[in-house]
């Protein structure tokens, strides 16, 4: 294999794209954002946005990668508007964002690993299940968090070092199916709880009065994050693509990712409701309520191990995707080989990850509004910066890519409808998505001002 790689099979692309898309965003973030925004109406908004914003943008990112055969930095660098290469800076911001997100994603993945190990040890009977340490204890122990983050990052480095076919495709090739089987088993168990009907109602019954001004922006951010859009991940994966029809592939990846998010809701909400007094909007649902609840349930230790193993596999797949983007951009832009680029990217990420990991108690106590620091950074990146990048990407794909290139990649002679869809896709990217994102951002600003005035008037 040369400096760059390609997928060994069509399935390889799907597994890695889905492996990158399905992660903490689906199992940790989606349930609490849905809770924060009142349930069913937000879910409906989210699903509509997956179809009308997520899939078209995914098509655009994959096209950008496939047509240039490069990662986002070089791919955007090769586009121009009125003869000027103005998109390069967008690529730089994307890669920087990958680094930032990977650094806190690594810390949260470390928490997941911690609970998976704890449940495993309890299942073996080495210590009493009731001795399982809580999130609070973990948050106070910065060294433990840094250690767990380092182990997690080391796993990612080992896989990325092996390259596209040997590493990514082979590893994610077995984690994705295992993950799928475990999730189905867990949902079956969760839906057998007495609280299940209420939880399902909360998730699926749209009560529009519960939507807040910021809900649109949050839904946009969640769609972008969960489909790994705006980070350049899908551009990189597109660059390894050979003969896949991009719109079909995008539709499949987005559908599976959405199903996983909904299933995560079905899994978490019955448990959270059963544990009653915890608000469904709490980002700690997963790490505080769930372990406690599981311990009180017969067979809960095994169930807990299964759940956290599942979550860990998902976050590993997503972290590998993030690291791969940083590495592939590095390899494309420099003379550094894949091995060195991977170690270097891993090292920089680890240094950044130490900041949230080691600040332990401080981070836990410090609140910005109602949110903790980690959630505030997460919200800043996902609800504000990511939509801005997506706006830039829409413009880059619409105005920077050649019409002929886009048409060739979109229109498939065997799929007659693809010709009609092509013009819709262009329109969506040019007008619809920028309008929705701008409206979402505007409403978030109004919401923030309202909150600020309310806090100051008390
Ligand atoms: N889509 C992932 C999730 O939902 O958890 C997050 C993510 C992974 C974003 C990989 C970007 C990326 F490159």
State whether residue 371 is helix, strand or coil. strand
186 close to ligand 1 (CB < 6 Angstrom):
no
Pocket test for ligand 1, best of 18, 58, 224, 322 (most atoms within 8 A of CB): 322
140 confidence band (pLDDT: 50, 70, 90): confident
Q: Is the CB of 95 under 6 A from ligand 1?
A: no
Per-chain mean pLDDT for the chain: 86
Top-confidence residue, 438 or 104: 438
Ligand 1 centroid, distance to 230 Cα (angstroms): 10
**Distance in angstroms (rounded) separating the CA atoms of residues 306 and 454:** 44
pLDDT at 181 (0 to 100) = 80
For 395-401, what is the mean pLDDT? 95
pLDDT tens-digit readout, 240-250: 888 788 999 99
Q: Is 334 exposed, middle or buried (0-12, 13-18, 19+ CB in 10 A)?
A: exposed
Q: What is the DSSP letter of 168?
A: I
Tell me the average pLDDT across 109-117: 92
Segment 16-35 shows an average pLDDT of: 89
- Which pLDDT band, with edges at 50, 70 and 90, does 2 fall under? very low
Ligand 1 center from residue 95 Cα (angstroms): 13
- The pLDDT score that the predictor gives to residue 333 is 82
Q: Which residues pair with 415 in a beta bridge?
A: 412
Nearest-angstrom CA–CA distance, 117 and 111: 10
- Asked if pLDDT for residue 1 goes beyond 60, the answer is no
Query: Closest residue (by CA) to atom 13 of ligand 1?
Result: 322
Instruction: Render pLDDT for 271-317 as a digit per residue (tens, 0 to 9).
Output: 888 876 666 777 777 887 778 777 877 777 887 888 888 888 889 88
91 lines ligand 1 (CB under 6 A): no
Buried b / exposed e across 359-381, counting CB within 10 Å, b at 16+?
bbeebeeeeeeeebbbbebbbeb
**Does 130 score more than 90 pLDDT?**
no
Angle between helices 55-68 and 386-395 (to 10 degrees): 60
Average pLDDT of the residues in 193-204: 91
Q: What is the mean pLDDT of residues 154-179?
A: 76
Structure tokens that stand for 146 in this block: 């840094």
CA of 55 to the centre of ligand 1 (A): 15
With a 6 Å cutoff on the Cβ, whether 24 touches ligand 1 is: yes
Alpha carbon 73 to its chain centroid, in Å, reads 20
Judge whether 294 and 307 are in contact, CB under 8 Å: yes
Per-residue confidence band for 166, with pLDDT thresholds at 50, 70 and 90: low
Asked whether 228 lines ligand 1 (CB < 6 A), one says yes
C-alpha of residue 371 to centroid of ligand 1, in Å: 21
Closest-CA residue, ligand 1 atom 9, reads 228
Q: What is the pLDDT of residue 83?
A: 86
| CA 160 to chain CA centroid, nearest Å | 18
Predicted local distance difference test score (pLDDT) of residue 345: 94
Confidence of residue 133 (pLDDT cuts 50, 70, 90): low
**In 3-state terms, what secondary structure has residue 232?**
coil
**Residues ≥6 apart with Cβ < 8 Å to 327:** 160, 338, 341, 342, 345
In ligand 1, which atom is closest to the CA atom of 28?
Answer: 5
pLDDT at 309: 85
pLDDT of residue 148: 95
Closest C-alpha residue for ligand 1 atom 7: 228
Q: What is the pLDDT of residue 183?
A: 79
What are the structural domain ranges in the chain?
10-457
Average pLDDT over residues 208-219: 95
**Band (162; pLDDT cuts 50, 70, 90):** confident
Name the H helices within 334-432.
338-358, 360-365, 373-379, 386-395, 403-410, 417-427
User: Span 10-457: which CATH code?
Assistant: 1.10.4160
Ligand 1 neighbour 21 (Cβ under 6 A): yes
The more confidently predicted of residues 252 and 129 is: 252
Output the CA angle 290-175-355, nearest 5 degrees.
60
The more confident residue out of 61 and 358 is 61
400 vs 146: CA distance, rounded Å:
42
Contacts of residue 233, defined as CB under 8 A and 6 or more positions apart, other chains included, come to 20, 61, 98, 321, 322, 324, 325
**Quick check: CB of 319 below 6 Å from ligand 1?**
no
Q: Which pLDDT does position 451 carry in this prediction?
A: 87
**pLDDT at site 51:** 98
pLDDT value at position 95? Answer: 92
Q: Give the tokens for residue 449.
A: 């001002």
Q: How confident is the model at residue 178 (pLDDT cuts 50, 70, 90)?
A: confident
């Amino acid at each position: 294999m040369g400096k760059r790689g390609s997928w060994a099979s069509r399935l390889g692309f799907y597994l890695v794209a889905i492996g990158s898309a399905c992660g903490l965003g689906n199992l940790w973030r989606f349930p609490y954002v849905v809770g924060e925004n009142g349930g069913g109406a937000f879910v409906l908004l989210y699903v509509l946005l997956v179809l009308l914003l997520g899939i078209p943008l995914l098509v655009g990112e994959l096209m950008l990668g496939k047509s240039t055969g490069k990662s986002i930095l070089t791919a955007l660098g090769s586009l121009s508007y009125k003869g000027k290469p103005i998109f390069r800076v967008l690529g730089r911001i994307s890669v920087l964002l990958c680094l930032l997100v990977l650094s806190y994603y690594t810390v949260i993945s470390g928490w997941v690993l911690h609970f998976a190990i704890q449940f495993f040890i309890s299942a073996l009977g080495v210590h009493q299940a009731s001795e399982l340490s809580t999130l609070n204890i973990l948050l106070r122990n910065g060294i433990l968090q840094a250690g767990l983050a380092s182990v997690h990052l080391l796993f990612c480095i080992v896989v990325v070092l092996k390259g596209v076919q040997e590493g990514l495709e082979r590893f994610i090739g077995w984690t994705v199916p295992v993950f799928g089987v475990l999730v189905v088993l867990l949902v079956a168990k969760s839906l057998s709880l007495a609280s299940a009907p209420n939880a399902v109602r909360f998730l699926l019954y749209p009560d529009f009065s519960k939507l807040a001004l910021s809900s649109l922006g949050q839904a946009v951010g969640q769609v972008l994050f969960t489909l790994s859009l705006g980070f350049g991940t899908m551009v990189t994966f597109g660059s390894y693509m050979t003969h896949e029809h991009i719109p079909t592939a995008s539709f499949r990846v987005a559908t599976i990712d959405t199903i996983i998010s909904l299933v995560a809701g079905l899994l978490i909400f019955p448990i959270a409701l059963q544990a009653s007094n915890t608000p469904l909007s709490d980002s700690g649902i997963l790490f505080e309520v769930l372990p406690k609840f599981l311990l009180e349930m017969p067979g809960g230790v095994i169930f807990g191990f299964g759940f956290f193993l599942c979550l860990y596999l998902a976050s590993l797949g997503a972290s590998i995707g993030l690291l791969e983007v940083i590495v592939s951009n590095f390899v494309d832009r420099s003379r550094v080989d894949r091995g060195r680029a991977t170690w270097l990217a891993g090292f920089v990420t680890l240094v950044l990850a130490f900041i949230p990991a080691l600040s332990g108690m401080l981070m836990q106590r410090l609140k910005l509004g109602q949110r903790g620091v980690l959630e505030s950074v997460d919200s800043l990146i996902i609800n504000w910066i990511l939509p801005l990048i997506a706006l830039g990407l829409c413009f880059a794909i619409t105005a920077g890519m050649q019409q002929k290139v886009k048409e060739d990649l979109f229109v498939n002679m065997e799929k007659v409808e693809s010709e009609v869809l092509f013009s819709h896709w262009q329109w969506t990217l040019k007008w619809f998505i920028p309008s929705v994102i701008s409206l979402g951002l505007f409403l978030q600003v109004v919401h923030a001002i309202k909150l600020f005035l309310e806090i100051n008037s008390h």
